[in-house]
Every structure is written in C-alpha cells, then in structure tokens.
Copies of this chain bind each other. A is one copy, B any other.
Amino acid sequence: MSPSATLDEAKGQQSAAMPLTVDGVAALRANGPQVPTGVAPSTSSDMFKSPACYTKPKAKRWDHIFSIESQARKVSTLKGAAKYLKNPGLISLGGGLPSPEYFPFQELSIKVPTPPGFGPEATRENGTVLTSAKGDVRDGKSLYDLEVALNYGQAVGAPQLLRFVTEHTEIIHNPPYADWQCCLNAGSTYAWDTVLRMLCNRGDYIMMEEYTFSSAQETVLPQGVNVVAIKMDEQGLLPGSLDDVLSSWDEAARGARKPFVLYTIPTGQNPTGATQQAERRKAIYEVAQKHDVIIVEDEPYYFLQMQPYTGADAEPVPPPKTHDDFIKSLIPSYLSLDVDGRVIRLESFSKVLSPGSRTGWIVAAEQVIERFIRNCETSSQNPSGFSQIAFFKLLDEHWGHSGYLDWLIDIRLSYTSRRDAMVHACEQHLPREIASWNPPAAGMFHWIQVDWQKHPGLASGKTHEAIEQEIFQAAVDNGVLVSRGSWFTASGLREESMFFRATFAAASAESIEEAIKRFGDALRVQFRL
C-alpha cells in the first residue's frame, strides 16, 4: 500500500510534464491529497490525477448536448447539507445513515491470486487471503473498510476505488485534455442507459454500427430514440458512411434533428469481432469533430486485445516483455485521441474481473460526469459496497497497478489461445465453399459469414430470414448453439449477407473444436455439400 511510501521509496519521480506511469504512482500519491476515509465523502478524480493533466487545455463546453431530463436535474438537497459536517465538534442529526453496529458483517475475506500464479489451481493452493474488518480505518489498518463500504456512499463511488481507476485511466489512456473525470457505476449496461437519458430526447436518432450488441439497441428503442445504422468493414465502422449519414441528414424528411451521438464498440466489436485500428479511429474522430458528434465508446473488450494471429502451424508471437510494451501494444482508445472532451468512455470490469460485480466506470469531461452523477443519485446510487471493497482490496492493496497489468497480460494470452482454438477449428471443419471469416484481433466473438445465395432454399423462394433460421435450427439440432446475425441488426434486417456469431469465451478448446465440427456438418447438410 503506497500512502506510506515516501518520495525516496518511489521508483519513478513524477514531474509535472511527464505522463503517469505505473512506477510514478507512489510519488503521485505521496504528494497528493489524502484519500477521504469517512462515510459518503465528497470526492472526484481531480484529487488523484497527476499535475501533468492540468497543463493541457480544457474540454469544450457541452451545454447544448444534454436532454430535457438531464437539464432539469439539480444537486441533491440532502447531499448539499453535507457541507456543514466539516464543522469541528458538530453532532449530526441530519442524514438518515444507519449505524454500522446494525450491519451483520464483521469481516469480509477474499482469496485471490498471488502473482505470478494467476491460474485457479495456483490460487487454490497459494492464493492470498485479503480481509477487511469493520474498524480497519479507525484502527489505522486500511484506507477503506467494511463499515464504510456497507454504508451509504456518494454516486461517484468510493474514493479509494475511484483513485485506482483514475490512475489506471491516466496510465493507459492519458487523455489529452485537462478536465476529464471518472465516475464508478453499476456496470456498462446501466451506464449506457444513463448516458442515453442524459443526452437524448424522445424522437432523436443516434448512430450505431449496422451490427451491434442487441442489448445496447434494446436500451435505445423504448426510450423513443431511433437508430441509424453506419456501415462496417472488417475493421468495423466506416468513416465515410458516418460522414454520409451526417452530411446528408434531412431534418424535415427524418422528422428529427441531426444525430449527435455515436455509440461504438471499437475493440472486438460485438457481434462482428471487428477491431478498429489506430488510423480508422483517427478518421472517425475527425468526422465526429466535423459534425460535432459525441462518441460513446463501449469498451468491455479493450483488454481482450490478443496476440497477432499466426496460423495453425506458425510460431506464436512472443508476449509483451514489459508493462510498457504491453501498453504500447494496445490500440489507442478514442479517449486517448480526445482533444475536445467529446468522448464518453464506458469502462467495464466484466470481462477481466467478473460481470456479476456490476461495477464499472465511465470517463468523460467534467461537465458530462457532473450530469451523469446527478442521474445516478436518484437511481442506482453507487456500485455495491461489497463489490467496491473486494475490488479495492484486490487491485489497490494487493496487486497494485503492476499486478493488475500482469493479470491483464495473462488474460490476453489466455484469450489468444481460445481464439486460436476457434480459428483452427474453423479452418479444419467449416466448408470453405460457403463459409468465410477473419481471425478476430480482440474480444470474445468470431463472426462467420455464410454465402446464403448458394443455399438450395433460395431456388424454392425461401427468404433470407427463413434460410438463416433453418441453418440456426439445423445447428441446434446437431448439438451446437450459435447466434444468428440478424439478432444484432441495428435497424432492420440486412439481406446482402448472412452471418453467425460464435463465442470462444466460455467453452474449452476441445468443446470449441467439437462444436465447430458440428456446425460445419450442419452447414454441409444445409448446403448439400
């Protein structure tokens, strides 16, 4: 734990002009303000960012982007009264906080991996047990404890965990403007619902990839918001298509103002597995600047960027040797390009720590974060205290940034093997006459194109929809479940092509091979090959 580290102990000295590195965190913490350790304290990322951040220009003003609902939100009346709590000696009969003596949880312990032994077996045998007890803060044992975590909190999240994600964000993305902030939240599904309500009114349009996460679309439509699909290639979003849609927008014909929100999954896109490379992102960002568009980047798969695919018989590429190599191997995020503060980045722990924690965070310009917090205050409030204390103990007190990066590298290599097993199985078992694919560079999904024009059903007048369903059902009947591409179409069926999505996240390598074999057999029967 670094708050006790002195400047001399800190390996790297953090100068005002240098971007934050893992080694610079100790010095930053030693020089920064103390983490507030009370119940539901005021906090923000500004407490935890390095001085280098403040040498940058501020974000643009975004007064014009907020929805009617969001504009109507005010600071919580009762939270406003918290300012008086700073008076020394004051006894508060104000807030309705229950006394922690009525929380029937005296201690919480978690058994977690001891680096470098990250696997389940190593953890069972040599894992580390981390314990948080009710009085740890009072007893000087920790900056965060169970009785604080289990009481009410501020919507921005616990400062102890907020500090970690703020530092992590700066180390990985180093946003090029000054006043970015983070806000913890109840996971990216919740964050997307909230961001939409913050930005859009009924009748508005937003832009999404033509194939996208079906739940993300199902969030949009009931809010009365419409989707305009942007075309994709094997790298995902096409900047030309984005520009076309925006340049040719006809408010009268559409009955709606020009869209100003782009939702994208840049890395290991769901469902296509496509990953936008650096140049593609720059091109998209420029279009967003040209039309003053907010980019919502939903990035659960960012750290599932894998080693390059080398083929079944080739030598694998050696893994990153240092943290610096690892960070450099990652494709720059939109956040890292964001000179204007027009990016809202949805960050998730779901794919790298656990989805059930229902804990993620967003990064955006201070003005946007302020409106987001106002919404959370009367909704989910903060993420579960059980989740926050577990993550804090693991990430901050046990692994630190260094151990967390080691864990992420470990995950990268595991997903590389899984992806390789999937692609090898496809090479071996799928009929090349009608099936094609690109090896995914990131994420959990393999997107298999099927040449439906060659399906014998076409001659007897079957529709795209009927043929897709027939292939899907044939696969199920042969013992494998894949997802139909049409489940992911952002605005109506696309008939030009037909896809199936297969995930390599969960099944074992043997099961993946057997499943793809079954899918291949089903395709052969369907296409009479």
Show the binding face of A for B, using Cβ within 8 Å.
Answer: 68-70, 72-74, 76-78, 81, 84-85, 87, 89-99, 101-113, 118-120, 123-124, 127, 129, 134, 149-153, 186-187, 189-190, 193-194, 214-215, 218-219, 221-224, 270, 350-359, 377-388, 390, 394, 407, 411, 414, 444-445, 476, 479-483, 487, 502-507, 511-512, 514-516, 518-519
Contact = CB atoms under 8 A, between A and B. Distances in A.
B379 A193 contact: yes
Majority secondary structure of chain A interface residues (helix, strand, loop or mixed): mixed
A218 B74 contact: yes
B386 A356 contact: yes
Contacts of A503: 93-97
Contact of A97 (B103, B384, B506): B506
A155 B89 CA distance: 45
Nearest to A514: B91
Contacts of A93: 480-482, 502-504, 507, 512, 515-516, 519
A152 B381 contact: no
A380 B103 contact: no
B150 A354 contact: yes
A92 B481 contact: yes
A358 B385 contact: yes
A123 B94 contact: no
Contact of A224 (B68, B356, B378, B505): B68
A407 B103 CA distance: 11
A150 B356 contact: yes
A515 B91 contact: yes
Given A101-B120, A120-B101, A189-B380, A72 B505 contact: no
A371 to B, nearest CB: 11
Nearest to A382: B358
Nearest to A478: B90
A227 to B, nearest CB: 13
A479 B89 contact: yes
A520 to B, nearest CB: 13
Contacts of A387: 384, 386-387
A103 B112 CA distance: 9
Given A153-B356, A383-B358, A407 B104 contact: yes
Given A381-B358, A444-B98, A215 B103 contact: no
Contacts of A487: 77-78, 81
Contacts of A512: 93
Nearest to A504: B93
A113 B106 CA distance: 8
